Amino acid sequence: MPRTPHFTSVLPLVMLACLAACKKDAPAPPQQEPSKAPATAAPSASSVAPTGPKGVPTLVLEEFAPAGSKPEAVFAVEGAVVVTQKQRVGRIVGESIEWLKETIPPEIATSGATVIDSVQGVWPDALDVLYSSESMRAPVPSYMPLTGKGTSKSFAWGGGPAAINGLARIGESVLLLGWSYAYGDGIFFSTVRGPKLERKQQTPAEAGCKPEEVQNEFMPVRPAIWADTLAASKSGVLVAVGQLCHSRGPTLEVWEENATKSRFIDVKPLVKDLGYWPKLLGGKDEVWLYSGKNNPILELKGGALTALPRTEAPPTLAFVSTSGVLHVVAGPSLERWEDGKWVEIARLSWPTLFRTMVVDGEAMWASAEGKVYKLREGKGWSFGDDCKTPVVYLYDVSPGNANNFTFPGTRKALATFPGVADIRLVEIREGGRRLGVEVKSQEQGEALITHVRATMKDENPILICHAPNKPRVIEINDGK
């Protein structure tokens, strides 16, 4: 079955799975040492996290919680930047939040409190909210037209496998893609706001699927592509992505502007797989496919599908600015797709796995670990010539690892470093669990980075400047 790309009430578990998936392309069980978290990618060939090239600012995260509020996520909608907190949605106005009177239901059936997964649409009269229950047993993924007119939809009221895989806005209409095993819901691909969109997925017979390729979990038979997600460009091109005929491989199903009949585009020549949570992003005339660190970002434009050049570090987040421009977070680098190339527009002082990011003109916002941040120019943990506490940052620790985990693979690699007697392996618990090595100087740090890259080939360490607060020291002990 396809994986839902939305954050749900089990957000912490999804984050853990995402961390593990980006490390080894499969969730890591507890007590296994991670190869790396996606946010550990190296920012540059020098492996130093400085203030960046001339003219490229370094950004620090400043928590945004005005008037005692505690917003949990930030989203861009047409005409506003909005935040969510429990069941409510508010617009950011300067350094304050203007909360709407409309809210999502506090509970779904008897499943427990609700949480907002995403906000899309147009401020203030056509906001679309995806939400779910905090219950792992019965998440009941749901859609609600928070403002304006639309048709609410919930899946699997009594619990069980279900998901809302995406919303796509075309003009005044919104198309929803969802599924459920319960109560005969099956695959739901229908207009929930505005004039009805005449868009239908091709059946297995129309797509030429062989009888043995057809899966019969649902009645009626599911479509040729059980899509992982969908999106639309501003110009009206609609795209869904999933496995064609269950096992033929990653494929786009595309409806050109005003077309009711779809066509298929095979993406296997360009990507290895769709990853755990593929993401489709709509631009002005483009639709982009982001399918994890192992694959390039694909661009569908003018009917042609092409692979964009890779960024130096693998992207951990892809998103579209409020002006419709593609951006990525790649290691600590924030980059924009411009004139056929990636342009670094800012550098984060600390690599972070973000849930969302918004670029609205000169203003930048992000959410991570249940908090909203405003990104401001500063220094943070970036390395400079005056640094007296250099640390080689290795990777974020998998939350599934025990508190006394000793990282045997990492210790074995560090044990062969010529200057091992002068370094100290530490776990830093600040904003998450992070693993690093305290070194004596920039020169030693750069030498260690070279050694780590040679002995731990999946890692992308960087040199930062930080004095950890009460770090846990892990003895290297010759790697044994």
CA distance linking residue 411 with residue 401, whole number of Å: 15
Q: 68: left (phi > 0), else alpha (psi -120 to 50), else beta?
A: left
CA separation (Å) from 453 to 47, 447, 467? 10, 10, 24
What is the CB neighbour count within 10 angstroms for residue 73?
24
Q: Which helix (H) or strand (E) holds 191?
A: strand 186-193
DSSP state of 204: H
pTM above 0.95, yes or no: no
Q: Which helix (H) or strand (E) holds 409?
A: helix 408-414
CA distance linking residue 108 with residue 158, whole number of Å: 10
Any idea what the Cα angle at residue 111 is, between residues 108 and 115, rounded to 5°? Answer: 60
If the chain, 480 residues long, is cut into consecutive pieces of 10 residues, what is the mean pLDDT of each piece?
A: 42 34 32 37 38 69 93 98 98 97 89 91 97 89 97 89 95 96 81 96 94 73 91 98 93 95 96 91 97 93 97 92 96 92 89 90 94 89 83 88 94 95 92 88 95 88 87 87
With tokens 């949605």, the residue in question is 89
Answer for the pair 411, 476: CB distance below 8 angstroms, yes or no.
yes
Q: Which helix (H) or strand (E) holds 413?
A: helix 408-414
Task: At 88, list the tokens.
Answer: 């409510």
Answer for the pair 364, 436: CB distance below 8 angstroms, yes or no.
no
| Sheet-wide strand order for 114-122 | 114-122, 126-133, 142-145, 153-154
Q: Which helix (H) or strand (E) holds 408?
A: helix 408-414
User: Under DSSP, is residue 358 helix (H, G, I), strand (E, B) or coil?
Assistant: strand
